[in-house]
Structure 1
Amino acid sequence: MRFDKGKGAAQVAALLCLALLTLASPRPSAAQTPPAAPSAAPSGAPPADAGAIPPLRLPAGQAPAKAEAVSGNILHLTAYLSATDAQPLRGGVHWRVFNERVELDGSHVLVAESTDSTPALTLPDGAFIVHAAFGLAGATKRVTIEGKGVSERVALNAGALRIMGLLGDAPLPATKSQISVYVPERNNSEAKLVANIKSGETIGLPEGNYHVVSTLLDPQTTGAVNPTNSVINADLRVQAGKLTDASLRHRAATMTLKLVSGPSGEALANTSFTILTPGGDVIREMIGAFPSLVLAEGEYVAIARHDNNVYQTNFKVESTLDRDVEVLAK
């Protein structure tokens, strides 16, 4: 702006008035500023805040919950077969920890459980009941925790039993036999069945006397599995801290039955067979052209029925010698 020499004072006065009017004029606040018109979104597009999580609000008068630190003490557990055993069990132990307090229904609340051999469990202060199970053996111990970690040894007063089934000198596959373990009583060796195990399996048992029965199994052509007459019994003692190893040897063989019109002839179909002991006890009844079965070593009678005719023969079973038994139709 140019100043006219003759009018300089008047121009300065006018500028001062204009500045004062500008400063005095009120400015719009952010709340009074009109919002900008939103831009149109493409058809079908979600709004800009789609998928955003709305803020969580507490009900009126409710204060936010305070985070509490989880505190506890470490309970270290180790199981031994006996109180004098130096080596702890390295597997097969199932641990359960219960609150010592008895509930209204007479039970105890389970507060921790582990299948680790030497678990480290975090527990609060209190009194607890620790139970360790190893197979059919078990032991219980009361533990009190007061502000520090605790290490406990649990002696099971147990041993281990392992039975190996044999056919002749060859080990039996696990699926070929059934081994039953009983607790005997006076005049009854099979008073209480405590376990059925497989050949070669190891099981934990409380120290004591046991009666073991191994039965050879016979897979039929139909896929069924039947017990044979080859049964071996043994009385064993399990000692705490020791593994009792035993072998039960079966003496048996597989016989295939045939009804033939002549030696080494073709087997006749639709034949029913009955196998008996020499004393007349029935061992097995079977139907087919050439059914097979496993029999214990010994002497037997085979009776074949075909077209309303009955034929029979005597035969002998020798251990591990599998063979055909021919019944002549004459």
Structure 2
Amino acid sequence: MSAVWRCRMRRVAGLCGAAALLPGFALAQNVLVQPGTGTPMLTPSVTSPVLPPAMPPAEPDAQLSLSALLAGPGVPLQDGLTWRILDDRGEGARPSIVARSTEAEPRFTLPPGAYVATVTYGFASASKRIVLGGQSATDTLRVAAGALRLSGAVGDVKIPQDQVTFSVFVPVGTNSEGRLVRSNLHSGDLLRLPEGTYHVVSTYGESNAIQRADLKVENGKITEATLNHRAATVTLKLVAQAGAEAFAGTAFSVLTPGGDTIREAIGAFPQVTLAEGDYVLIARHDGQVFSREFKVESGLDRDIEVVAKADATQPN
């Protein structure tokens, strides 16, 4: 009986094909062997292929719920918050922002892993490392912050909001204005800050009416302060005689008695806010120059007239 026939009888057609195509080789007990040696030959498997072990199913995304409290009093923060979620890639790796929110109590859906949650409240902030598995998580961040609300006044009279601005600094060493935190702050604005001592500069008008103060901000409290200016607003005029109509297009310069320029203005009757003290006013019109000395008294807003006559008496 031929080798091909024996293979068919044993229903191993795959091995039969190999034996038939390789002359000089024999089939022994369903294994292809080299003739005269009995050494088995490697043949293709006729069984099902071996599959790799099944991978465990990936963990589902999880929901992270966050909230913020003021450190100290533990009051929940409900507005003015900015949240950022950064992926934590380990030491030395630069994290990237994967989610943001401005809600008071945001909810983020994130893959399992390590993250850094950061919340800012004005110029104060807090952060926390959070590891998520496949289950929802809730966490709270505590922000060490207070707030500052400023206003200006001359005596008992409040300065209008649009006429006074504030700059807030963090002192550095002996420099009270070491680092600027915020400029162009207006009366009534709420400035959220980390706990600490700040240097405040108040500017009334656009000249030299300036006041300074050091203020302390405490956790969970609003520090309200009014900076009192000793200043007044004067209206500058060049006239032919006292009480007459002002000349248009006049260029004015306000100087200190020592000759330092405080403010320059052009017009028929520009207004200038000045700190209490003595000044010299120079008016230039049609190639002629006129001057007078005057005094600013705190809280006394008035007109300052320069009479356009060389021999005219200029009141103080």
Could you tell me the TM-score, scaled by structure 1's length?
0.70
**Hey, what's the Cα distance between the residues in 2 that align with 1:163 and 1:134?**
19
Q: 1:155 maps to which residue?
A: 142
Backbone CA RMSD of aligned residues: 2.4
Q: 2:195 maps to which residue?
A: 207
- 2:200 and 2:213 in contact (8 A); partners too: yes
Q: Does 1:249 align with 2:195?
A: no
Q: Does 1:295 align with 2:284?
A: no
**Hey, what's the Cα distance between the residues in 2 that align with 1:317 and 1:303?**
16
Q: 2:285 maps to which residue?
A: 306
Deviation at 1:149, TM superposition (A): 2.2
- 1:125 and 1:144 in contact (8 A); partners too: yes
Deviation at 1:272, TM superposition (A): 2.1
Deviation at 1:123, TM superposition (A): 2.3
**Hey, what's the Cα distance between the residues in 2 that align with 1:103 and 1:143?**
15
**Hey, what's the Cα distance between the residues in 1 that align with 2:154 and 2:111?**
55
**Hey, what's the Cα distance between the residues in 2 that align with 1:86 and 1:251?**
41
- 2:60 and 2:134 in contact (8 A); partners too: no
Q: Deviations over 1:220-265 (max 9, x none)?
A: xxxxxxx221111011122222222211123332211112222212
**Hey, what's the Cα distance between the residues in 2 that align with 1:166 and 1:260?**
32
Q: Does 1:228 align with 2:201?
A: no
Deviation at 1:109, TM superposition (A): 2.5
Deviation at 1:310, TM superposition (A): 2.7
Any gaps of 5 or more consecutive residues in structure 1?
1-69, 218-226
**Hey, what's the Cα distance between the residues in 2 that align with 1:328 and 1:228?**
24
Q: 1:14 maps to which residue?
A: none
Q: 1:93 maps to which residue?
A: 81
**Hey, what's the Cα distance between the residues in 1 that align with 2:139 and 2:186?**
33
- 2:60 and 2:112 in contact (8 A); partners too: no
**Hey, what's the Cα distance between the residues in 2 that align with 1:146 and 1:312?**
80
**Hey, what's the Cα distance between the residues in 1 that align with 2:242 and 2:192?**
54
- 1:165 and 1:200 in contact (8 A); partners too: no
Deviation at 1:184, TM superposition (A): 0.7
**Hey, what's the Cα distance between the residues in 1 that align with 2:90 and 2:165?**
41
Q: 1:76 maps to which residue?
A: 65
Q: Deviations over 1:178-213 (max 9, x none)?
A: 211111122211111111222211122122221111
**Hey, what's the Cα distance between the residues in 1 that align with 2:247 and 2:74?**
66
Q: Does 1:283 align with 2:265?
A: no
Q: Does 1:164 align with 2:143?
A: no
Q: Does 1:183 align with 2:170?
A: yes
Q: Deviations over 1:266-313 (max 9, x none)?
A: 223343221112232211122232222222222222122334433222
Q: Does 1:324 align with 2:306?
A: no
Amino acid at match of 2:253: T
Report the count of equivalent residues. Answer: 252
Question: Structure 1 residues 290 and 143, CA, compared in 2 at 3 Å: closer, same or farther?
Answer: same
SS of residue paired to 2:77: coil
Report matched runs for 1:36-47 at 5 Å: none
Residue identity over aligned pairs, in percent, reads 48
Pick aligned residue for 1:144 from 131, 143, 167: 131
Q: Does 1:198 align with 2:186?
A: yes
Deviation at 1:103, TM superposition (A): 10
- 2:82 and 2:119 in contact (8 A); partners too: yes
**Hey, what's the Cα distance between the residues in 2 that align with 1:172 and 1:263?**
30
- 2:165 and 2:203 in contact (8 A); partners too: yes
Pick aligned residue for 1:108 from 72, 91, 95: 95
Deviation at 1:87, TM superposition (A): 1.2
Q: Deviations over 1:153-184 (max 9, x none)?
A: 21222221221233443444443222111111
- 1:183 and 1:193 in contact (8 A); partners too: yes
Task: Show structure 1 runs of 4+ deviating over 6 A.
Answer: none
